[in-house]
Chains A and B, each alone.
Chain A
Amino acid sequence: MTLTTKAETLRPVPYVLRDKWQETADTWSMALEPAEAWLQADRGEPGQFNMLWAFGVGESAISISGPTHGTGPLVHTIRACGNVTRKLCAMKAGEVVGLRGPYGKPWPIESLKGRDLIIMAGGIGLAPLRPVVYHILANREDFGRVSLLYGARRPEDILFANELSGWRGRMELDVLITVDAADSSWFGNVGTVTRLVRRNPFEVDGAAALVCGPEIMMQYSAQTLLDAGMNQDSIWVSMERNMKCGVGLCGHCQVGPEFVCKTGPVYPLERIANLLATREM
């Protein structure tokens, strides 16, 4: 018998922290493996998340940031910003976390085959999109031109910096990076991520876009893409909400009629555009 952590299961299974590495001053990636092989969870799809349990503290929804194909540990990237994530980031190799999932709707990668793609991320929002990049690189011939437009706060806050350099060097996708502020030692772009749309090396009007970051960043990014000629039905965003149960029961992540943990976090823009712009939500 194989026990899997399917979406409707609320019971966490033990995963061992095999490795952990620092990405930025407050962000860590952790590689998790099931405590026993028969506990192996579904690896999920790009855009989905798992609930990670720091025993004695609580649970937090963390996006899968590693490859979802193949084998190897499950990788999550965590920013220490609350009690649970601070505890998770402080854990040492060999310690055990609880894991349940994967949950949520993934990025619609299969339906985007053959199209040009713009992957647009801000801050920690690159983490849920990294599995998309892995998928594209593993199936490069399935897609047209691909751009990654990434914005961070400062140069030292750039997530997966070495990997971004590697991707740029592979010439299989265009990588444009900008930061909000920098000193004179930074020779890259300075300005908002929306300004990178103008610098995208191919026309955006026939392309599709996957956008993830703070909601205000997604709002302006989506508007910029629309202004550049992209259709609303070609844009997907991933909503960030404080998820608790992960299965649409508790209502903690509810936005209007949407239970983000179950009907999201990935939404077509046309479904969520009004909610993004609603102040009372």
Chain B
Amino acid sequence: MEDMTIEKLLGSHDFFDGMKAEDLALVAGCGSNVVYQPGELIARQGTAADFFLAIRHGRVAVEIYVPSSGALRLETVSENSVVGWSWLFEPYRWHFDIRALELTRAVRFDGHCLRKKCDDDPVLGYDFMKRFAAVAARRLEAARLQIIDIYGKKDDDPDNQG
């Protein structure tokens, strides 16, 4: 019954858009419904990464802890997005903290379970990898734009008399 519910939930989630029904049923078997409270630490940098979240409602932050500065927010992830791909690549450790910023409802996928299904069914595995690669590419593009500081002042521009 829970699998059916999750399957339906995934059917309306952007990340799974266009996935074949039989594949959706297969991956739904690795998912469970979870709820996180505002401020709750979902994943901690350096610990084992054995899951990812398909966020249905709410918002989480990807953070990095900087000694003397505290937690810095690198990005926020909202409904219809996924967070976490460390479960997919060795050594399966979180590279950042994940924290709920508001009441967040998500489907949490067991990384071991999904990796096994992807290994057993390379077509599914390839489909999954493409979906994560698209997410990673979008976030990498966004991260590159963030680090070039597009809103920063160009004081050194010799032509800038304004």
Contacts and interface: CB of A to CB of B under 8 A. Distances in A.
Interface of A: 26, 58, 60-61, 79, 81-85, 122-124, 151-153, 157, 178, 180-184, 186-192, 194-195, 198-199, 213-214, 216-217, 220, 242
Contacts of B69: 183
Nearest to B63: A184
A191 B63 contact: no
B161 A84 contact: yes
Given A81-B160, A81-B162, A153 B151 contact: yes
B162 A85 contact: yes
Given A181-B73, A199-B78, A194 B142 contact: yes
Contacts of A58: 161
Contact of B80 (A123, A186, A198): A198
Nearest to A79: B153
Contacts of A123: 150-151
A242 B159 CA distance: 8
22 contacts: A58-B161, A81-B154, A85-B162, A122-B150, A122-B151, A123-B150, A123-B151, A153-B151, A153-B152, A178-B76, A181-B146, A182-B72, A183-B69, A183-B71, A183-B73, A186-B73, A190-B75, A190-B76, A191-B146, A192-B142, A214-B150, A216-B145
Chain A binding surface SS class: mixed
Contacts, number: 94
A187 B101 contact: yes
B120 interface: no
Contacts of A199: 78
B63 A81 contact: no
Given A123-B151, A182-B73, A199-B78, A60 B142 contact: no
Contacts of A61: 162
A195 B162 contact: no
Given A82-B161, A152-B151, A192-B142, 11 more contacts: A81-B155, A82-B160, A83-B161, A122-B150, A151-B151, A180-B149, A183-B72, A188-B76, A190-B73, A190-B75, A191-B142
Given A152-B151, A190-B76, A183 B70 contact: yes
Nearest to B38: A187
Contacts of A198: 14, 80-81
Contacts of A214: 150-151
B149 to A, nearest CB: 7
A82 B72 CA distance: 31
B162 A84 contact: yes
B98 interface: no
B82 interface: no
B61 interface: yes
Interface in B119-141: 141
B74 interface: yes
A187 B58 CA distance: 12
Nearest to A151: B151
A79 B155 CA distance: 11
Contacts of B141: 220
Given A183-B72, A190-B74, A191-B142, A217 B162 contact: no
A153 B153 CA distance: 11
Interface string B73-98: 11110101100000000000000000
